[in-house]
Every structure is written in C-alpha cells, then in structure tokens.
C-alpha cells in the first residue's frame, strides 16, 4: 500500500496555542484516505509536558479540563492543564509500604468508575485500588479492590477498563516486579487478564498471553482487545465476551511482527472512540485502526517508545504518553 507522509516535524519547530509555544515532534503516516476523517491533514504532535521517568496511563478528565498521567518510576501522578501546565497531582501513587524497593513502583493505568472515583493500577502495591478522595482534592489514600487471585498476590497490575455495569477488566504482566519474570516475589506462574465483578470476586479471563498490557472494550462492550507487549508475540488480541464470565473466539486482531526493528516500542496502551476507531501504542508510535479493524495510519514518534494514549471528551484531541514526554495531537478543529 502506498504511504503518504503528510508532515515531517523536528524539535526546533513550535506550535502556538493560547499564547503558549510547544515543540513538535514526529510525522503522520497516512495508509488510507479514510484517515482524513479522523486526523486532519497537517495535524502536529506537540510536546506539552517533559521530564518524566516513564509516563503512562493518561486519563482525560472532561469536567475538570485536565489530563492525569502516571510517572511509574517516580511513584507520582501528574496533572496537566492548559493554564498551569504540569503539576504534581498525588504521590505516592502506587507504593505505600515502608520497605525500600526499586523498579516501577508507581501507578500505571488510570480510569474512573461509574461514580467518578479514580481507579489505579498500583505496580508497587500489586493491586487495583480506588483513591479515597475527590478528584479535585486528591490524597494518597487508597482502598484495595483486588490484590490477589486465590490467595496469591498479583504480579503488577498494568492497565484497566471499567464497563457500564461497573465491572473492572485489568492486565497483570510482571513489569512492576523488581526482577521481572525472575523476581522471587512473583507468586502467580502466569501473566493473567482478570475481571473484578460487582461483588468484588476476581475472575481469571485469560492465562495464555505472555505479556498482557493495554486493554480496551470496543463500543457495545461485546469485544475486548488486549495488547501483548512481547517482542516474540507482538500482537493485539481480540476476544468476544461470552456468558458466565468467559471470553470466547480469541484471535489476533493485528500483529506487528515484521515491523521495522528500528521503531521503538511494542503493542501497549490503547483507546477506542465512540465510533470504534482504535488508537493503539505500538512500534514507532500510535497505530490508528478504523472501526472495521483496518490499519489506516500512524503517528510516528521517532527514537523513543510510546506507552499509551487518551482522548478528550469531544474526541478531537489525542494525548500520548511517550517515555519522558506527554504529547498532544489536535486531530480536528
């Protein structure tokens, strides 16, 4: 398929919004004309926040007009607003024990439940937690919603999504353990995908994926997508939601096997818009799929891997966590 490179941007270029100037980076790769209906020609990825150790879990809070995101290595959640830029939101975000440790301690994936409470994947505490404070007055007070499966502690919950029933789906790779797969504190022999039922019961959905990472429900909540961040199996998987807490018809949604090895990153966090178009972190940047599952374009960010993304309330802006940076792409005016 012929590729159309719309724009080549370098860090010296800057964009101006509301009197502020942001450096731009990357390029847009159009693989299908339908991309123009999602991403306007000439859209520019802008660096709106810098200086993180590993940025993750972006979450747009429409009512507050702010972006929340995790710095996993700094054990901190930051907030970003157009008016004030990056500020500390809450810390610690993922590890509240007194025993010193290293590695990825902080929160990773963030979302809200149906009552508007902040939910966190806590790598250091190895649990799914709820913040016991309002969104506008955050505090490092957390209630555990799930911390083990059949009495064995989770590895390090990574990403999560809440459905309309209030059930929580989440992934549990080993990345938050100090020694990863070889950590002596690893209690579960597999890397699972789970669901927390309304009753609080934890159900194992998948135990066969090697590195389950990003997770999203497509509109209608009949299909669950899971990213597998394993260089040997760099795939996005799709499952249909069956009865009795089962996933059925497991299949590869799309594979990045054979991608240019110089492109940094693996299948990671992702978001779907209301129409079912998918924005997925993958090798080289954000891969954009139509609601028919066709790859129609990419936002290429050279040199450093992309971890996740979030959509604004009107779905005209995409926010991207990109290693030490957070980016913004105004997709449509």
Write the secondary structure of the chain as one string of H (helix), E (strand) and C (coil).
CCCEEEEEECCCCEEEECCEEEEECEEEEECCHHHHHCCCCCCCEEEEECCCCCEEEEEEECCCCEEEEEECCCCEEEEEECCCEEEEEECCCCCCCCCCCCCCCCEEEEEECCCCCEEEEECCCCEEEEECCCCCCCCCCEEEEECEECCEECCCCCCEEECCCCCEEEEECCCCCCCHHHCCCCCCCCCEEEEECCCCCEEEEECCCCCEEEEEECCCCCEEEEEECECCECEEEEEEECCCCCEEEEEEEEECCCCCCCCCCCCCCEEECCCCCEEEEECCEEEEECCCCCEEEEEECCCCCCCEEEECCCCCEEEEEECCEEEEEECCC
Check residue 15 and give its pLDDT.
Answer: 52
- Mean pLDDT (10-residue bins), the chain, 333 residues: 37 50 94 96 95 98 98 98 97 96 95 98 98 98 98 98 98 96 97 97 98 98 98 98 93 96 95 98 98 97 96 98 97 88
Predicted local confidence at residue 13, as pLDDT: 45
* Residue 19, pLDDT score: 55
**pLDDT of amino acid 6:** 37
Q: Note if the pTM is more than 0.95.
A: no
Q: What is the pLDDT of residue 219?
A: 97
Domain boundaries, the chain: 92-268
Q: Which CATH class is domain 92-268?
A: mainly beta
């Amino acid at each position: 398929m012929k590729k159309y490179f719309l724009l080549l941007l370098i860090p010296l270029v800057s964009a101006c919004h509301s009197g502020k100037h942001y450096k731009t980076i990357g390029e847009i790769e159009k693989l299908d004309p339908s991309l123009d209906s999602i991403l306007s020609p000439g859209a520019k990825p802008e660096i709106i926040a810098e200086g993180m150790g590993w940025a993750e879990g972006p979450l747009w809070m429409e009512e507050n007009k702010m972006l929340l995101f995790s710095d996993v290595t700094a054990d901190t959640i930051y907030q970003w607003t157009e008016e004030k830029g990056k500020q500390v939101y809450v810390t610690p975000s993922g590890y509240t024990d007194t025993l010193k440790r290293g590695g990825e301690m902080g929160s990773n994936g963030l979302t809200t439940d149906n009552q508007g409470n902040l939910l966190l994947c806590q790598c250091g505490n190895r649990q799914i937690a709820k913040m016991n404070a309002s969104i506008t007055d955050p505090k490092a007070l957390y209630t555990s919603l799930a911390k083990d499966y059949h009495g064995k502690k989770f590895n390090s919950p990574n990403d999560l999504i809440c459905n309309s029933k209030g059930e929580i789906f989440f992934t549990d790779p080993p990345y938050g353990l100090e020694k990863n797969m070889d950590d002596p504190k690893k209690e579960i022999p597999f890397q699972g995908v789970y669901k927390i039922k309304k009753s609080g019961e934890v159900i194992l959905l998948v135990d066969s994926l090697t590195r389950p990472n990003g997770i999203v429900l497509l509109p209608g909540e009949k299909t669950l997508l899971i990213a597998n961040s394993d260089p040997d199996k760099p795939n996005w998987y799709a499952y249909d939601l069956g009865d009795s807490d089962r996933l059925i018809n497991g299949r590869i949604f799309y594979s990045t096997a054979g991608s240019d090895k110089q492109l940094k990153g693996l299948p990671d966090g992702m978001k779907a818009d209301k129409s079912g178009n998918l924005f997925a972190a993958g090798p080289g940047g954000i891969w954009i799929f139509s609601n028919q599952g066709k790859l129609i374009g990419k936002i290429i960010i050279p040199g450093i891997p992309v971890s996740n993304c979030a959509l604004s309330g009107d779905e005209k802006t995409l926010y991207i966590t990109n290693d030490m940076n957070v980016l913004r792409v105004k997709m449509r005016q």
